[in-house]
Amino acid sequence: MKISWKAILLWSLPFLVIGFFLWQGFLAPTTTEISNNPANSRMTYGRFLEYLDMGWIKKVDMYDNGHTAIVEALGPELGNRLQKIRVELPASDPELITKLRKAQIDIDAHPTKNSSALWSLISNLFFPILLIGGLALLFKRSSSSTGGPGQAMSFGKSKALFQMEAKTGVVFDDVAGVDEAKEEFQEVVTFLQQPDSFTAVGAKIPKGVLLVGPPGTGKTLLAKAIAGEANVPFFSISGSEFVEMFVGVGASRVRDLFKKAKENAPCIVFIDEIDAVGRQRGTGVGGGNDEREQTLNQLLTEMDGFEGNTGVIVVAATNRADILDAALLRPGRFDRQVSVDVPNLNGRLAILQVHAKNKKIDPDVSIQTIARRTPGFSGADLANLLNEAAILTARRRKNAITISELDASIDRIIAGMEGTALINGKSKRLIAYHEIGHAIIGTLLEHHDPVHKVTLIPRGQARGLTWFTPGDDQTLVSRTQIISRIMGALGGRATEEIVFGNTEITTGASNDLQQVTSMARQMVTRYGMSSIGPLSLENEGSNPFLGGSMSSNNEYSDGIAIKIDAQVQQIVKQCHNQVLRIIRDNRVVIDRLVDLLIEQETIEGSTLEYIISQYTTIPQKDVYIKQL
């Protein structure tokens, strides 16, 4: 049986909990002098500390091993009368005593009066006994199921601590949209298949390949595909499994893993989440972790220990190459890095085609359109999308997946579950104006992505939504495009202002405003798009241990900080004014669209464009989008 320490922890938890309650509730004698004390009022510990700071506490009597106190307090909030108040104290706060003494407050402790010494002994032993008993029981269970005594104690033994697949059944054709990575790996596959042709010319194949990329981009899949293509066994373990509770286990697992791998060479050893063990050593934040370091050292030793041509190739995956220990990346270890990124349009198309193979999709569905609507989706997201659509199709009792199910699934994955419809009323009207505001700005600005649809059906956090068809995956965004996006995001609030007046604007725009601010700020501090000039003033936070905002090391003076704020404000203000003007100029069509939206709940992009074009000219947008 596979016995993991997570399981032990999980198992002992109920015992711990039960033990604690029993101990606290039944066994610990509660009849102490407290009940004799006429302190009827209570206050929270936090309040007590406040009072203490104010100097209103005069005397503290501790009961119940310091769990409870009756304090005498005098203060204006208490009507300047000396009062006795009961406070529950946290189990241990050694600083409290120091604090009380500093404040020269009269402290007194009253011992718990037990009926007998034996009783106290039992109650003190009960909890540990229960815990030990629970653990013993667990060991017994696990050893009886493995069939041998003492099995559960040999934590480090390789048995079942890593997975081995003799045949993964995955081939390169199953992995799409990551052609460069596949090319790199083709070499590895060739080596595994015919090592002689490499060794004959004295070539050494890399021992380790590091796969770097965000979650769900197919790293595990790729590693399996190498093994599958080369027809060799696949050993895998995840870094977080290395790092477990007991010292030495991680290191011994590494040893076992490599021993088994060498016996089965040629083969692939896959270490997932290597960042869990392979972080830079000694970075200090959060305390050192000797266990992790030992594991890492063992890993390095093992990788040095086998000759490049034994036929064991280590593939590791991480989404954070930047935090890995430099020693791991040295030649002779993971000297090759292959990055797999979130797929671009063509990649998404290819991945969708792979996963569409075993699904029944209506011939009218254009996979291309789906790929266009899903920028930022990883391979896993796309696989999930098709699956969701298939489930929905089955629920609707259809024979094949149509665009309607796919659309619904995309919406759901991006924006969350569909909520219940809004009831007609002022709030619905306001939301309608807000969304049409976004939509009209999006339609009328040449450099804004065109509107895909507007809807009043709530989803996730949002109560109404305007969807845009994103252009091709853009790595370069122009100033005009950012400005257009800022204006688009301001469109909702601006319309609320004009239609309902400044006093009626709502909190609904908070998310929009967040985006507006962050875009404007980035224009100034990162892209050099303001009159401060082409300076990069803020870096993306790169400290692996602190959140981005905490660690962003800003390299500017306070004087510049003031200028930045002024520039951000100016950009947003200019955009806002322009948006207000566009909304005012188009009030007639906005009113008409709002009526339609309230009636139909959803307006498709084409309908929207058609109606708007009856009132004003819509600028020509990029050609490829028009083709859709």
Nearer to Zn ion, 302 or 512 (CB): 512
Distance in angstroms (rounded) separating the CA atoms of residues 357 and 361: 9
Binding residue for ligand ADP (CB under 6 A) from 96, 221, 494, 499?
221
- CB closer to ligand ADP, 214 vs 308: 214
Interface residues toward Zn ion, by CB under 5 A: 492, 512
512 is in an annotated binding site: yes
- What is the chain's percent helix, strand, coil content, to nearest 5? 55, 10, 35
Q: Which stretch binds Mg ion (CB under 5 A): 36-44, 217-225, 333-341, 391-399?
A: 217-225
Q: How many residues bind ligand ADP (CB under 6 A)?
A: 18
Cα 517 to Cα 576: distance, rounded to the nearest angstrom: 12
Active site residue 72: no
Contact between residue 158 and residue 256 where contact means Cβ atoms under 8 Å apart: yes
Angle at 500 between CA 428 and CA 587, to 5 degrees: 90
Shortest reach from residue 249's CB to Mg ion, in Å: 23
Q: Which stretch binds ligand ADP (CB under 6 A): 171-179, 281-289, 361-369, 573-581?
A: 171-179
When the beta carbons of 213 and 450 are compared against ligand ADP, the nearer one is 213
Tell me the sheet residues that pair with 84.
72
User: Among Mg ion, ligand ADP, Zn ion, none, what does residue 442 contact (CB within 5–8 Å per kind)?
Assistant: none
Query: What does the DSSP 8-state code read for residue 219?
Result: H
The least CB distance from residue 464 to Zn ion, in Å, is 8
Q: State the residue for tokens 């704020």.
A: 565
**SS3 per residue for 5-27:** HHHHHHHHHHHHHHHHHHHHHHH
CB of 381 to ligand ADP, least distance (A): 8
What's the one-letter identity of residue 48? F
- 217 assigned to a ligand binding site: yes
Q: Among residues 265 and 380, whose Cβ is nearest to ligand ADP?
A: 380
Smaller CB separation from Mg ion, 340 or 385: 340
Eight-class DSSP state of 619: P
Helix H or strand E encompassing 466? strand 465-468
Catalytic residue, from 184, 244, 291, 435: name it: 435
Binding status of residue 215 toward ligand ADP by CB under 6 A: yes
In whole angstroms, give the CA distance from residue 273 to residue 261.
Answer: 19
Least distance (Å) from ligand ADP to the CB of residue 265? 24
Is 347 assigned a ligand-binding role in the annotation? no
CB 221 within 8 A of CB 182: no
Token output for 553:
């090391």
Which stretch, 179-187, 216-224, 439-447, 619-627, contacts Mg ion (CB under 5 A)? 216-224
- Work out which of 161, 178, 230, 314 binds ligand ADP, going by CB under 6 A: 178
Closest approach of Zn ion to the CB of residue 97, in Å: 55
576 is an annotated ligand-binding site residue: no
Residues that bind Mg ion (rule: CB under 5 A) add up to a total of 1
Q: How far is the CB of 295 from Zn ion (least distance, A)?
A: 48
220 near Mg ion (CB under 5 A):
yes
Q: What is the 3-state secondary structure (H, E, C) of 554-618?
A: CCCCHHHHHHHHHHHHHHHHHHHHHHHHHHHHCHHHHHHHHHHHHHHCEEEHHHHHHHHHCCCCC
213 is in an annotated binding site: yes
Least distance in angstroms from the C-beta of 54 to Zn ion: 46
Q: How crowded is residue 544: how many other Cβ atoms within 10 Å of its Cβ?
A: 15
Give the C-alpha separation, 16 to 22, whole Å.
10
Contact code string over 298-337 relative to ligand ADP, x by CB under 6 A: -------------------x--------------------
Rounded to whole angstroms, the Cα distance separating 378 from 221 reads 13
CB of 491 to ligand ADP, least distance (A): 36
Give which of 453, 368, 361, 358 is closest to 414, Cα–Cα.
453
Q: Looking at beta carbons only, is 354 or 580 nearer to ligand ADP? A: 354
Per DSSP, the residues of 9-72 read HHHHHHHHHHHHHHIIIIIS---SGGGGS---EEE-HHHHHHHHHHT-EEEEEEEGGGTEEEEE
What is the per-residue burial (b if ≥16 Cβ within 10 Å, else e) of 578-590?
bbbebbeebeebb
Comparison of 228 and 379: residue with beta carbon closer to ligand ADP: 379
Report if residue 271 touches ligand ADP, rule: CB under 6 A: no
Q: With binding defined as CB under 5 A, does residue 238 bind Mg ion?
A: no
Closer by beta carbon to ligand ADP, 173 or else 446: 173
Asked if residue 168 binds Mg ion (CB under 5 A), the reply is: no
Q: Which does 512 bind (CB under 5 to 8 A by kind): Mg ion, Zn ion, ligand ADP, none?
A: Zn ion
Upstream peptide bond of 266 is cis (omega within 30 degrees of 0): yes
Which residues contribute to the annotated binding site for ATP? 213-220
Q: Which residues bind Mg ion (CB under 5 A)?
A: 220
Catalytic residues: 435
Q: Which residues bind ligand ADP (CB under 6 A)?
A: 175-178, 213, 215-221, 317, 351, 354, 379-380, 383
Which residues contribute to the annotated binding site? 213-220, 434, 438, 512
